[in-house]
């Protein structure tokens, strides 16, 4: 079984400041890793994913996450946030063994509040 | 094209009533998933379809929960004899089904059981 822990429920930050949203996972098998974002009054959207290869993955809007196998982490970072980044962010894993790779285990979510 | 569509957007049911929640996935997506999201929590997996076949229903919390996708497109999640603990947002997602295909989520149905 897998589990995901997002260490911060809320992260307030000023505009143009850097931010890191932390995610740790536990699993007895290899996993795929995801970050989803939920903007106010919208559905969940995939932000970025790690399947294999380079451990550093990037999104089109400036976020990046690094898979650290030894620390079982997949922290999300952005060097300079915008007001429009205000949203709920969810870290998720799925195991590589199951035929149902859409069965995601989500963390509790982190609310990123960007202040002007 | 259109994204995943869920209806109704909001549903209020009295305890003991049956409810039916509808999901219209993206055209051509073979995989369909239902998730339950309680207030302040991340989504939790309920069940998975590949076309019309329900391949995984390990997350359904009780036999009061039933899902179907008879023609491999639209899916319905039915909850019988609703209880207050069933109050949550029910999310539907679809994908192409290949490895690494992203899940496309609908906006969800918020169910409140009074």
CATH number at residue B51: 2.60.40.10
> In the prediction, which pLDDT does B97 show?
83
**pLDDT at res. B101:** 81
Asked whether the beta carbons of A47 and A36 are under 8 A apart, the reply is yes
Of the two residues B63 and A31, the one the predictor is more confident about is: B63
- Predicted local distance difference test score (pLDDT) of residue B11: 98
Instruction: Check the CA dihedral A59-A62-A68-A73 and report its sign.
Output: negative
pLDDT over 70 at B1, yes or no: no
Q: How many structural domains does chain B have? A: 1
Asked whether the predicted pLDDT for residue B14 surpasses 80, the reply is yes
Residue B82 sits in which domain range?
Answer: 5-97+106-113
CB pairs < 8 Å spanning A and B: 61
Contacts of B88 (CB under 8 A, 6+ apart): B36, B37, B38, B39, B110, B111
Q: What is the pLDDT of residues A77-109, one digit of tens each?
A: 999 999 999 999 999 998 877 666 678 999 999
Which residue in chain A has the smallest CA separation from B45?
A103
Residue the block writes with tokens 């429009």:
A84
Instruction: Tell me the β-bridge partners of A66.
Output: A56, A75
Using an 8 Å CB-CB cutoff, list chain A residues near B100. 32, 49, 51, 101
Question: Cα separation of A57 and A70, whole Å?
Answer: 17
Cβ distance of B55 and A105 shorter than 8 Å:
no
* pLDDT recorded at residue A84: 95
- Interface touch A44/B33, C-beta < 8 Å: no
**The pLDDT of residue A102:** 78
b/e per residue A73-90 (b: at least 16 CB within 10 A): bbbbebeebeeebbbbbb
**Domain A3-115 homologous superfamily, CATH:** Immunoglobulins (2.60.40.10)
Please give the average per-residue pLDDT across B26-30, as a whole number: 94
Whether B79 contacts chain A with CB within 8 A? no
Q: Name B36's Cβ contacts closer than 8 Å, sequence gap at least 6.
A: B43, B44, B46, B59, B61, B88, B89, B90, B91
Q: What's the gap in Å between the CA of A86 and the closest CA on chain B?
A: 16
Whether B45 contacts chain A with CB within 8 A = yes
Min CA distance, A16 vs chain B (Å)? 27
B100 in A contact zone (CB under 8 Å): yes
- Quick one: closest CA in B to A111, which residue? B40
- Given this model, what pLDDT does residue A99 score? 64
């Amino acid at each position: 079984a897998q589990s995901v822990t997002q260490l911060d429920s809320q992260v307030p930050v000023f505009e143009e400041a850097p931010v890191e949203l932390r995610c740790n996972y536990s699993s007895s098998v290899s996993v795929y890793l995801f970050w989803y974002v939920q903007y106010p009054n919208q559905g969940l959207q995939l932000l970025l994913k790690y399947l294999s290869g380079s451990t550093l993955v990037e999104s089109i809007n400036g976020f990046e996450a690094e898979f650290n196998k030894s620390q079982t982490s997949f922290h999300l970072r952005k060097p300079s946030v915008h007001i429009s980044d205000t949203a709920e962010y969810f870290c998720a894993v799925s195991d590589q063994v199951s035929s149902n790779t859409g069965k995601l285990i989500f963390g509790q979510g982190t609310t990123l509040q960007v202040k002007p | 094209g259109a994204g995943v569509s869920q209806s109704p957007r909001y549903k209020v049911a009295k305890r003991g009533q049956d409810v039916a929640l509808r999901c219209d996935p993206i055209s051509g997506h073979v995989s369909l998933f239902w998730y339950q999201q309680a207030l302040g929590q991340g989504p939790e997996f309920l069940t998975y379809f590949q076309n019309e076949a329900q391949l995984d229903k390990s997350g359904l919390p009780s036999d009061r929960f039933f899902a179907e996708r008879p023609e491999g497109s639209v899916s319905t999640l039915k909850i019988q004899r609703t209880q207050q603990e069933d109050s949550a947002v029910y999310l539907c997602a679809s994908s192409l089904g290949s490895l690494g295909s992203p899940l496309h989520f609908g906006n969800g149905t918020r169910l409140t059981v009074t």
